[in-house]
Amino acid sequence: MNYQIPNIITCCNLISGCIATGCAFYGQYQWAVLMIVIGAIFDFFDGLSARFLGVTSSIGKELDSLADVVTFGVAPSSILFYLFHEVHCPEALMPINKFLPYTAFLMAAFSALRLAKFNLDTRQSTQFIGLPTPANALFWGSLVLGQHAFLTSLKFNALFLFLFMLLFCFLLIAEIPMLALKFKTFTWQENKIKYIFLLGALPCFLFGYSCFAAIILWYIVLSLLNNKYAEKEAVGPNNL
């Protein structure tokens, strides 16, 4: 039974993703985002339970990726699919307006590619390469939920949404190191960038429903700044 407990939790993640997808197709953004968050919680605890119980299996690893594709790939794509039907469409894009919503599922494809790379990439034990799929899903869910009035106003349009979506598709598979909140110790010297992220994330909760979107943007910006700092540190000694 111990071997099945992590898989049961993973299946709960999968079911949460399916419910989130169904809610998104009906425009029920609050329920969709809630189920993505619940799926993320299950995703955290399936790995934790496997380590606690000391069990691993090839099936569990494959099942975990399949569940993540649904919860963090298909579900946010479905949210964007419905949003594309609500956003203002510029006159120039009217001939393809009926097809634009289906471009949202590019995100599901890039999420699947991101997860496949993660399973094979040995460099991601202490950091992520590219934006993690849960972060991407939470960003879009929080953004749509918190900024729905702006996204569906005349100040925004389908072209901006499409380009913004492509940017995040790129971030999913980009060769960009991203922070991983894994603590081996809790000293400031070894974890200062992680503590800076956590401290900077606190004010983001003032944004209400948009808080997760703000936190993910902060996460991306801080990761990029940290990479630049690490590059300067690496080049510095060579110039002496």
- Average predicted confidence (pLDDT) for the chain: 90
Nearest to 215 by CA among 128, 141, 111: 141
Contact 177, 129 (CB under 8 A): yes
Helix (H, G, I), strand (E, B) or coil at 177: strand
What pLDDT is stored for residue 83 in this prediction? 97
Candidate from 49-63, 121-135, 215-229 with smallest mean pLDDT: 49-63
Tens digit of pLDDT for each residue in 146-170?
Answer: 999 999 999 999 999 999 999 999 9
What pLDDT is stored for residue 240 in this prediction? 47
What pLDDT is stored for residue 182 in this prediction? 77
For the chain, the domains span 4-176
Under CATH, which number does the domain 4-176 receive?
Answer: 1.20.120.1760
When pLDDT is averaged across residues 13-39 and rounded to a whole number, the result is 97
